[in-house]
Amino acid sequence: MRCRIQLMVASALIWAMSAYGQSAATATAQTASPTSEQSNVPTQPASEKGAKHQKNSRGAGGEVGSGAGDIGKGAAKGAGDLAKGTGKGAVDLATLHPVNAATDIGKGAGEAGGHVAVGTVKGTGKVVKGTAKAIKKVF
């Protein structure tokens, strides 16, 4: 069981690194000829045009920290859903509604698994992205 989990995590990391490598942003310059309407508008230097639309990207440490936060948020939401489902199931079981109890526990477990999975995948992607930035900076 432990080996399977390690294998799944390793394959997710490899997949995320390959996806990050393929999604490199490339800037394309527009080479359209100016029309008579565009020629009346004063143009700005290229450095000002690029500065307005570029987003400030996070550093390597920020990406890793954000990824760890996403993993923690997913685990916390999952634990909350699991507790909510278990609590509802316990109440239903105490009031002699075993079918509703099983449904509530199953629903809580399903939602918990979904939140944990989403948080783990998002967090792992950000951690990989931050690690790649750090390695890229070295080379």
Summarised one tens digit per residue, pLDDT across range 26-40 is: 333 344 444 544 555
105, 107, 109, 110 alpha-carbon torsion, rounded to 10°: 160
The answer to whether residue 105 sits within a structural domain is yes
**Which of 81 and 137 is assigned the larger pLDDT?**
81
Q: How far apart are CA 73 and CA 118, in angstroms?
A: 10
pTM of the predicted model, to two decimals? 0.56
Segment 3-31 shows an average pLDDT of 54
16-25, 50-59, 84-93: which range is least confident on average? 16-25
User: What's the pLDDT band for 82 if we cut at 50, 70, 90?
Assistant: very high
Per-residue model confidence (pLDDT) at position 139: 78
Mean pLDDT value across the chain: 76
Segment 5-30 shows an average pLDDT of 54
Per-residue model confidence (pLDDT) at position 118: 94
**Residue 89 lies in domain:** 60-139
The answer to whether residue 26 sits within a structural domain is no
The answer to whether residue 106 sits within a structural domain is yes
The answer to whether residue 107 sits within a structural domain is yes
The answer to whether residue 3 sits within a structural domain is no
The answer to whether residue 9 sits within a structural domain is no
Overall number of domains in the chain:
1
Answer whether residue 12 shows pLDDT above 80: no
The answer to whether residue 108 sits within a structural domain is yes
The answer to whether residue 139 sits within a structural domain is yes
Percentage of residues of the chain with pLDDT beyond 70: 60
Per-residue model confidence (pLDDT) at position 80: 93
